[in-house]
Structure 1
Amino acid sequence: MTTPSRLSPLLEQFDFARERLSARMTGPVMNSGDGTDTEVGPMTDEEYFWEPVPGCWSVRRRVDEPGARAAFLAGTGDWGRDAASYPHPWPAPFTTIAWRLSHLSEMLTLRADHTAGSHTLARDDYPVRGDAVGAVAAFDAGAAAWRKALQSIDDAALDTVGYCTYPHGSDPEELFIDVVWWVNQELLHHGAEVALLRDLYRARLR
C-alpha cells in the first residue's frame, strides 16, 4: 500500500524518535545530535529502577504494595506499574525509567492492536517487564507493531474519527491523523525524559 503523503512526515518523525531512544538505551553509541557518535552503555536494572526522589512511581513486583499515592499495579504478570484511577494524584508523582518505558511500550502495543489488530487488548492484558533488557525488547516490539499498523493506513483512514479504538484515551473521538501525531508526541517527550534520567544517573556517580 502506498503511504499517504500526509502520513510520510509523521512516520519519518516516529522513526527518528524511535531510533534515538533505542540507541540511547542500548548503545554502544548514540547520535549526539551534531552528527558524531557518543559512547553509551546498555541500561542496567539498577538504572531502570532508580528513584531520584522520594515517592516515585515505578514498576514493582505484584506481591509488593503499590508505591506512594498509587492505588494498584497495572498490567499482568509478576510485575505491575504504579497506577491510580481518575482523577490522578496531583501534582503528578515523579516516575522512574521503568514506569515511563512501560507506559510508552504499553501505549504503542495497545494502540497498534486497536488500529489494525483484534481491538480487544486492555491494560490488564499487557505484561509489565521487571528488567531493563526485557523492557527494551518490549519497547522495540511495541514500536514495531505500531509502525506495522500505520503501514496499513490509507488516506481516508487518516480523516476517520474513531479509526483507532484505544480505550484509554480520546481516540474514539479523534481523527486518526491526530492520534498518529499524539503518539509521536508521547514518544518524543518520554524518550527525552528517559535520556535525561540516564544522564542524571550517570552524573550521580561522579
Structure 2
Amino acid sequence: MAVPSRLAPLLDQFDFTRRRLADRLTGPKMDSGDGEYVEVPAITDEEYLWEPVAGCWSIRPRAAGPGPGATLLAGTGPWGRDGGRPHPWPPPFTTIAWRLAHLSEMLALRAEYTTGGHALTEDDVVHHGDAAGGLAAFEAAATAWRDALVTVGDAALDDIGRCRYPYGSDPEDAFVDVVWWVNQELLHHGAEIAMLRDLYRYLR
C-alpha cells in the first residue's frame, strides 16, 4: 500500500527521530544535526538507571517495591516501571530507563490498539533493568508502531477511534492526530534523554 501524502511527512519525521534517538543511545556515531557525524559512547547500565536527583521514578526490581511517591510498579516480570494514578503533581523527575520504557510502552500498546488484538494493557508490558534490554524493547515497539502506520490508507487517517489505546484520548481522536501526538512524544522524550546523557557526562 502506498503511503498517503498526508502521512508521508509524519512517517519520515518518525523514522528520523527514532533513528536519531537510537544512535544517540548506542553510538558509535550519530548525526550532529548538520550532517557531521560525531562519536557517541554506548549507554551503560549505570547511566541508564542513573538518578540525578532525589525522588526519581525509574525501572526497579519488583522485589524492591515502588520508588518515592510511586504507588505501584507497572508491567510484568522481575522489573517494573514506577507509576500510579492519579499522577503526582508536580510530576517526578524520571531516569533514562523510565523515559525509554514510557516510549516503548506507548508505541507497543498503540500498535496493539491499532492493528493488534486490542487486549494488552500496561500490566502486560515487560520492563528491563539493563540498557540492552531497554533498547531492544524500544526497537521492537517502534517497529510495531511503524508497521501499524503503513497499513493505513488516506481515508482512515480521519477515522475517530481507529486507535483505541486506553491511556489517552485516542478513542476520541482522528488517527492522524494520534500519529502527530506520538511523534511529539518521541521528539520531546528523545530530547530529554539526550540532555540526561549530557548531564551524566558532566556530573558523574
1:123 aligns with 2:127: no
Please give the residue correspondences for 1:43-58 in structure 2 after superposition, counting only pairs within 5 Å: 43-58=43-58
Quote how far apart the aligned CAs of 1:129 are.
0.8
Partner of 2:41: 41
Quote how far apart the aligned CAs of 1:2 are.
1.2
1:103 corresponds to which letter in structure 2?
H
Quote how far apart the aligned CAs of 1:157 are.
1.0
Partner of 1:143: 142
1:10 aligns with 2:45: no
Partner of 1:178: 177
Task: Give RMSD over aligned pairs.
Answer: 0.6
Runs of 5+ in structure 2 lacking a partner?
A: none
Partner of 2:79: 79
Partner of 1:60: 60
1:160 corresponds to which letter in structure 2?
D
1:90 aligns with 2:89: yes
Q: Deviations over 1:111-130 (max 9, x none)?
A: 01111111111100110111
In 2: Cα distance, 1:3 partner to 1:16 partner: 16
Partner of 1:202: 201
Number of corresponding residues = 204
Q: Report the secondary structure of 1:169's partner residue.
A: coil
Q: Report the secondary structure of 1:63's partner residue.
A: helix
2:69 corresponds to which letter in structure 1?
R
Please give the residue correspondences for 1:131-170 in structure 2 after superposition, counting only pairs within 5 Å: 131-170=130-169
Q: Deviations over 1:26-82 (max 9, x none)?
A: 000011111111101111000000000000000000001211110000011100000
Sequence identity (%): 65
Quote how far apart the aligned CAs of 1:158 are.
0.5
Runs of 5+ in structure 1 lacking a partner?
A: none
When normalised by structure 1's length, the TM-score is 0.98
